[in-house]
Amino acid sequence: MKIKVLSNGYEQHAALLQKKINARIPAQWGEGMEIALAVDAAIGVAESYCIVQTANGWQITGADESGLYFGIGKFLHTAKWSETDFLPRPPEGVIAPDCPLRAMYFAVHLHNWYANAPTAQLEQYVEELWLWGYNAIMLIVPVIDLYSFGEENARRSIEKSRAIFRLAKRLGMKVGLFICPNQGLRGAPRELDAEPNFDPMRRRGDGGRNICPHKPGAVDYLRTVWQGMLEQFVDIGLDYMVTWPYDEGGCGCDKCRPWGAKGYLDLVCLLHDEAVAVYPNIQTVISTWTFDKPEGQGEFEALYKRLRTDMSWVDYMMADAHDDYPRYPLEHEVVKPVINFPEISMWKLFPWGGYGANPMPERYQGIWNSAKSVLSGGAPYSEGMYEDISKIQFAGYYWQKDRDWRDILSEYINYEVSGEVVDDVLAMIECIERNHVLVGKVKEPDHAAAAECGRLARAIDARLDARGKQAWRWRVLYIRAIIDEKRFAYYERTGMHGMAHLADIRNFAADFLADDAEAVALLSELRTLYHSEPCNGRNQYTLPFVGEPTRLGNGKTHADILRERAAGK
């Protein structure tokens, strides 16, 4: 296919467009179908774009340079592709985002894909998310893994984060850092330790070394930790800081509890002042993750009361939880712009991504619909590559609040897999979700759906061209479909039934497939895709099993250890 790009001075945009086309087809450049690039603020609001057909091809116009990138992404994603050419089929009119803050949060910790993947691969991934419509990348410094900021593990992690931030900034994206205000380094003085969180529902966690801010010397210690993180990015610049209350974070002592109403808010105010001293224009996002779990603790109420008195220390409020969207922000006045934090990584499956992709589009649609009226964007929580399709689902919502998941995922499948198999892939995804949700809610699986899932996966794979068959986004979907077929067939064949066996097939399915050569090969492929390391005692959450139990130093399998934990041993 012959293509002529008229960059009109937007060379970086043109280079990215050509790079993406070259990755799909053997294009010849310099003549042929014209693709003209332009920026014209008059077309609409910030980040909007318009794609129109011209006498000799197409013109992509952005209201600004970011909008031009997003227009390029839409031009590519909606086209009909073959092995040798493509037919543009862009939407008509000016497209503008409904939500201004569209961030992705990479949890770069616990030896997951983000922590282990080569920097170049992550940079490529950031480019792709940018073209799908995200405008910010948020990361952490993995304090939970570190004894000091000077150790080699810290140096590697911080340099990877810096590389990702540099690329994001070069593209025009904004960057942000998640900070848990009372999280200490692993070597923090024991006399500063926090009390365990009040957590009767077991939703909040107590990860890492949480510090009680009311103990002598604690705040001074925490300031050194905050400064150690903030100073790592001075030359790049941080646009956002997200403060985090629980999981990593929290203290259940009498002076701090309820944490979200007392100790946390006091620390966020102090942390805000520290951040502004380093980055005067930084915007603060206060997270309310698992506030008022259970109800009646007054955490949301206390935050809203403080904000009505002084709004200077918060720019956005982040609200979300493990399941349904919190009711308080939906039923009370919006005192600050609200964003969500979709949990797309871990819900009701272990290890995270251990069987491949985990799409749950119907579930996400319901949660989104319940909250979209108050939302100004969001930052999905990601532990790896396996939830890529869900990232794009939420990007679609952030651009057009009323969009349906089938429309968003059809565009994704068209571009990332093949336009010829869209309906079948959607049907396969529905089968995956059906059993994920059933078993997650401790209900018996739908064996017909599991069998149909495997049948569809094999039929789709047979129809794909070489590029489609090898695309990692298809591979993680395909692997999940086949593993689901196999694990639920085992469940049925061996007469498994009830709560304990449902937990087994959900969490330890690979243990039961050790004699299935195809399953072992597919799970091994996931390990390669994820850059998984041998189990080191801290990566068991994101290390997919490969047919035989992974053994720790004490000779126990992951399954043994987790069963003991569940039993309280």
pLDDT the model gives residue 514: 81
DSSP state of 533: P
DSSP state of 510: G
Output the domain CATH number for residue 63: 3.30.379.10
pLDDT the model gives residue 560: 64
DSSP state of 45: S
pLDDT the model gives residue 551: 45
Task: Kindly report whether the peptide bond that precedes residue 359 is cis, defined as omega within 30 degrees of 0.
Answer: no
Give percent above pLDDT 70 in the chain.
95
Per-residue pLDDT of 343-390, as tens digits, reads 999 999 888 998 999 999 999 999 999 999 999 999 999 999 999 999
pTM: 0.95
Residue 360 lies in a domain: no
Residues 69 and 156 placed together within one structural domain of the fold? no
Q: What is the mean pLDDT of residues 99-128?
A: 94
Residue of 406, 398, 354 lying closest to 380 (CA atoms) = 398
Residues 165 and 293 placed together within one structural domain of the fold? yes
Residues 260 and 206 placed together within one structural domain of the fold? yes
From 341, 357, 382, the end of a domain falls on 341
Residue 372 lies in a domain: no
CB of 429 within 8 A of CB of 437?
A: no
What mean pLDDT value characterizes the chain?
A: 94
Number of structural domains (the chain) is: 3
Residue keyed to tokens 């243990």: 511
Cα 278 to Cα 159, 235, 274, distances in angstroms: 19, 11, 7
Residues 300 and 229 placed together within one structural domain of the fold? yes
Calculated CA dihedral for residues 20, 132, 77, 45, nearest 10 degrees: -110
Q: Is the pLDDT of residue 268 over 50?
A: yes
Residues 454 and 552 placed together within one structural domain of the fold? yes
pLDDT the model gives residue 543: 73
pLDDT the model gives residue 547: 43
Residues 217 and 323 placed together within one structural domain of the fold? yes
Residues 176 and 289 placed together within one structural domain of the fold? yes
202 vs 558, which has greater pLDDT? 202
Q: How far apart are CA 406 and CA 426, in angstroms?
A: 7
Q: Is the pLDDT of residue 241 over 60?
A: yes
Residues 124 and 237 placed together within one structural domain of the fold? yes
Output the domain CATH number for residue 254: 3.20.20.80
- Give the tokens for residue 203: 């939703």
Residue 152 lies in a domain: yes
Residues 12 and 143 placed together within one structural domain of the fold? no
257 vs 503, which has greater pLDDT? 257
Residues 259 and 137 placed together within one structural domain of the fold? yes
Residue 325's φ and ψ, nearest 5 degrees, are: -65, 140
Residues 78 and 192 placed together within one structural domain of the fold? no
Query: Strands 33-39 and 57-62, how do they pair?
Result: parallel
Residue 311 lies in a domain: yes
From 341, 356, 373, the end of a domain falls on 341
Domain range for 265:
101-341
- Give the tokens for residue 119: 């920097």
Residue 367 lies in a domain: no
Residue 376 lies in a domain: no
pLDDT the model gives residue 350: 81
Per-residue pLDDT of 513-569, as tens digits, reads 888 999 989 999 999 999 988 777 677 777 776 544 444 445 556 556 556 655 655
Residue 302's φ and ψ, nearest 5 degrees, are: -65, -40
pLDDT the model gives residue 559: 58
Residue 117 lies in a domain: yes
- Range with the largest mean pLDDT of 150-159, 394-403, 549-558: 394-403
Residue 362 lies in a domain: no
From 62, 95, 128, the end of a domain falls on 95
Residues 425 and 494 placed together within one structural domain of the fold? yes
